[in-house]
């Protein structure tokens, strides 16, 4: 495939691709709401911040299950989407994502027992899992190489926008049921937007619709003439032809070359798969995922005299700033540098939080502010680098034929990893003590920096074909 430098498009191309990704951005807003739901509801039903006149209560055990079930059931949605993606296409699959989301929010509003909360968490998990493969594959196939990292990073911004909207509504209303009811407007709008979203040109080529694929590509590159995007379209034809080679006439002679599942054993698939799993592990560990559902308790333990609800909203605002900074800088700085820089900062801050919390106990009014500020720094830095870049890599590093399966599979495993981190965080915290968790996670992150220094390639401004060749 030719280098992206041969694709000469103007500002209209950026606008057209951003417009085409509007549906995925609304999905990210919804995901941000779904992810923050447990944090808000757990805070509203437990501890000193418990909402008055609320009949529901949650024990510590119920909190851990409610906060983590979402991540346990994401693989179910991922498996279903991986099966349906090639058949229905990205757009229809992304529309289906909204159905369990809508159902969960309605059930939240009427919930009167813990079992209903569990069911809502399961439905949200299926929605989150189902969206991962279609969204990642669609972004990877629609965007031109020089914009892929930037536009994919923008999804992280919209994810945090969703969380910020939800936390601000709750901070104002202090009524979590009303908050989830208002949030139903997001999937409603998303469905309308997705009905107007074009299919991926590569998916259309794979379905034997080259004329429609070329017209779609022309629109996505700024409504240019066919000649203007002929080089890129020719490269797409070569790329999809290599990915979908004809099956031998003798079915018994079919090899793993013609099988999406068989390609999982190829170096260009299992090598990036291994790298991405390690990346997601450290991204989750150093971005505070395990603390997420318990943020009210975490901020209370820090001891700084702040309004917890608005502090959570402020932390989400910092995440939005971090994500926006990623969008503006990833093309110039590259994903490798941002990964090493932000992971090292987050790791150092975590180690400092742990050491200050354990050993500097004679100046609580000062240290309470220091550890809170350090934690908020990690919120900004993780959303600036390691979190969005992990999901950008997901859209880039797998060959086309296995992309639908690997995107869904990696998304599922990433969320299963998150489930275990959240579900067993309370027990781990009790075992090693609260501040020691930061020291342990931060030290692990420093080892992660060493690993990525040697094994993480630079994918920014590389074509999908060039990235695939690197892993062979």
CA distance 363 to 368: 8
The whole-number pLDDT of residue 5 equals: 43
Q: Strand, coil or helix: what is 315?
A: helix
Mean pLDDT of 267-274: 81
- Position 186 scores a pLDDT of 93
- Could you report the per-residue pLDDT of 194-220, keeping only the tens digit for each? 999 888 888 888 888 888 888 888 888
| pLDDT of residue 402 exceeding 50 | yes
Contact 19, 90 (CB under 8 A): no
Mean pLDDT of the chain: 84
Cα 169 to Cα 42, 52, 452, 466: the distances in Å are 16, 18, 39, 45
Q: What is the CA radius of gyration of the chain?
A: 22
What mean pLDDT do residues 386-393 have? 85
**What was the pLDDT predicted at 189?**
94
pLDDT at 237: 81
d(CA 207, CA 204): 5
DSSP H helices in 424-463: 425-432, 434-455
Instruction: Enumerate residues 6+ apart whose C-beta is below 8 A from 430.
Output: none
Six-digit token string for 295: 């943020």
Interval 145-204: pLDDT, tens: 777 777 877 887 898 899 999 999 998 888 889 999 999 999 999 999 999 988 888 888
> CA distances (Å), 298 to each of 292, 295, 314, in order?
9, 5, 15
Q: What DSSP assignment string belongs to 381-393?
A: HHHHTHHHHHHHH
pLDDT at 244: 52
Helices (H), 223-334: 230-243, 267-286, 295-302, 308-333
pLDDT higher than 60, residue 3: no
d(C-alpha 20, C-alpha 31), whole Å: 19
Who contacts 173 (Cβ-Cβ below 8 Å, separation ≥6)?
A: 179
Q: For the chain, which residues make up each domain, given as ranges?
A: 13-197+262-470
- pLDDT single digits (tens) 228-245: 888 888 878 877 776 555
The percent of residues in the chain predicted with pLDDT above 70, rounded, is 89
Provide the 8-state DSSP code for 89.
Answer: -
Cβ-in-10-Å burial (0-12, 13-18, 19+) of 360 comes to middle
pLDDT reading at 252 higher than 60: no
pLDDT score recorded for residue 376: 96
Taking only the tens place, the pLDDT of each residue in 284-326 is: 999 998 998 888 889 989 999 998 888 988 998 998 899 889 8
Give which of 266, 246, 286, 274 is closest to 375, Cα–Cα.
Answer: 286
Specify whether the CB–CB gap between 287 and 444 falls below 8 A.
no
pTM of the complete model: 0.73
Burial call 191-225: b when 16+ CB within 10 Å, e when fewer:
bebbeebbbbbbbbbbeeeeeebbebbbbbbbebe
Q: Which CATH architecture has domain 13-197+262-470?
A: Up-down Bundle (1.20)
Chain position carrying tokens 């094994």: 455
């Amino acid at each position: 495939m030719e280098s992206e430098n041969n694709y000469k498009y103007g500002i209209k191309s950026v606008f057209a691709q951003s417009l085409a990704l509007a549906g995925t951005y609304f999905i990210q807003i919804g995901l941000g709401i779904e992810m923050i739901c447990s944090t808000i509801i757990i805070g509203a039903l437990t501890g000193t911040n418990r909402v008055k006149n609320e009949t529901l209560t949650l024990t510590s055990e119920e909190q851990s299950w409610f906060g983590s079930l979402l991540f346990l059931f994401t693989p179910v949605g991922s498996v279903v989407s991986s099966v349906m993606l090639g058949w229905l296409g990205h757009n229809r699959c992304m529309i289906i994502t909204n159905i369990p989301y809508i159902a969960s929010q309605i059930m939240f509003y009427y919930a009167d027992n813990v079992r209903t909360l569990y069911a809502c968490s399961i439905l949200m998990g299926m929605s989150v899992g189902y969206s991962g493969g279609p969204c990642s594959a669609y972004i990877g196939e629609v965007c031109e190489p020089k914009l892929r990292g930037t536009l994919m990073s923008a999804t992280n911004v919209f994810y945090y926008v969703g969380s910020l909207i939800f936390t601000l509504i709750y901070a104002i209303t202090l009524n979590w049921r009303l908050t989830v009811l208002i949030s139903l407007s997001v999937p409603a709008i998303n469905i309308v937007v997705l009905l107007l979203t074009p299919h991926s040109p590569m998916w259309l080529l794979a379905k034997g619709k080259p004329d429609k694929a070329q017209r779609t590509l022309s629109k996505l590159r700024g409504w240019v003439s066919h000649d203007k995007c002929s080089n890129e379209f020719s490269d797409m034809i070569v790329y999809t032809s290599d990915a979908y080679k004809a099956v031998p006439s003798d079915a018994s002679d079919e090899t793993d070359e013609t099988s999406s599942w068989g390609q999982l054993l190829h170096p260009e698939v299992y090598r990036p798969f291994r790298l991405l799993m390690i990346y997601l592990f450290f991204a989750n560990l150093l971005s505070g995922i395990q603390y997420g559902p318990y943020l009210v308790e975490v901020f209370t333990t820090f001891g700084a005299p702040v309004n917890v609800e608005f502090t959570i909203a402020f932390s989400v605002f910092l995440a939005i700033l971090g994500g926006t900074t990623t969008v503006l800088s990833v093309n110039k700085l590259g994903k490798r540098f941002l990964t090493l820089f932000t992971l090292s900062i987050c790791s150092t801050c975590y180690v400092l939080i742990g050491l200050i919390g354990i050993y500097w106990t004679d100046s609580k009014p000062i240290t309470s502010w220091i550890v809170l500020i350090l934690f908020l720094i990690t919120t900004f830095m993780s959303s600036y680098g390691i979190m969005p870049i992990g999901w950008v890599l997901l859209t880039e590093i797998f060959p086309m034929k296995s992309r639908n399966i690997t995107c869904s599979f990696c998304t599922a495993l990433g969320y299963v990893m998150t489930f275990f981190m959240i579900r067993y965080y309370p027990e781990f915290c009790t075992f090693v003590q609260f501040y020691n968790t930061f020291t342990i996670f931060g030290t692990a992150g420093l080892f992660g920096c060493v690993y990525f220094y040697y094994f993480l390639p630079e994918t920014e401004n590389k074509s999908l074909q060039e990235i695939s060749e690197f892993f062979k």
